Amino acid sequence: THRDYGVPQPTHVNSRGLRHSEIPLEKTPGKKRILLLGDSSVYGVRVTDDQTFGGLLEKRLHSAHRNVEVLNAGCPGFSSWQALQALDDRLLAYSPDLVVIATLWSDAQGSAEPDAARFGNGAGRSWLSHSAFYVWLQAKIRRARWNAEGPERIEFQLDPVPGAPPFGNGPIGPNKLVPTHRVPIDDYKANLKEMASRVRAQGGDVAFLVLPCFRDLILGRVGDFRDAYR
């Protein structure tokens, strides 16, 4: 139990990494389980436990007298690869009847965008990331770059990032190459298939959730390379 991301009420994360109180692995007879997999969108950054979409879904199912529990396995920053490891390591043990896979934004995130590795409180954080002007300027550059009519061409490559903040272990020099996208689109596709295969092998069903973006209301799409991931 802790307070995080500016949420006014305590947030609960149990010993298996679920945003939930401790629950036994064995299901109550007659009760169904829905497991939600994803990143901060699923975890519910900046909202209370009962206002995550998992919390709201469980509330709606209960009001319809459905004997279902919803397990929120979202974790801020998780890619599909990390979700797959968590599924194998500790989540399939809950024997979910339905797994909702909603890994998207952290996989499709451009390497130029801030994430926990660059702007979190971890070791090696760049002094530039403390500058509000630097963060604002980076956002302006990204908006100009991704405001084109069509989405960017999807290709995974290594680009030089001059003066970029540290990424992983050790600083990035002027000629250091980093991936253009966090998870290559072919790897993303393979991870989704692998997660679905694991769940079905255990007798569960799978649903893929395409997470929305505010640009959907304006453009009807994201308007950059992330459209291909969706």
pLDDT digits (tens, 9 = 90+) for 124-154: 445 665 677 776 776 677 666 655 444 444 4
The angle subtended at Cα 226 by Cα 197 and Cα 199, nearest 5°, is: 10
Residue 39: per-residue pLDDT:
92
Distance CA 116, CA 3 (A): 18
pLDDT digits (tens, 9 = 90+) for 168-219: 434 444 445 555 567 878 889 999 999 999 999 999 999 999 888 877 887 7
Identify which has the larger pLDDT, 201 or 157: 201
Burial 29-56 (b: 16+ CB within 10 A, else e): eeeebbbbbbbbbbbbbebebeebbbbe
User: Cα Rg for the chain, rounded, in angstroms?
Assistant: 19
Distance CA 50, CA 20 (A): 10
97 half-sphere exposure, CB direction, 13 A CA radius: 13
pLDDT at 162 over 70: no
Residue 182: per-residue pLDDT:
73
Distance CA 119, CA 165 (A): 9
SS3 assignment, position 69: strand
pLDDT at 68 over 70: yes
Mean pLDDT, residues 32-39: 96
Nearest to 95 by CA among 27, 30, 13: 27
Residue 123: per-residue pLDDT:
40
Mean pLDDT of all residues in the chain? 78
Residue 118 contacts by C-beta under 8 Å, 6 or more apart in sequence?
A: 125, 126, 129, 165, 166, 167
Question: What is the β-pairing status of strands 98-102 and 32-38?
Answer: parallel
Report the percentage of the chain scoring pLDDT > 70. Answer: 70
CB atoms within 10 A of CB 179: 14
Which residue type, as a one-letter code, is found at position 107? Answer: D
- Find tokens 């600083």 and name the residue: 171
Mean pLDDT, residues 31-39: 95
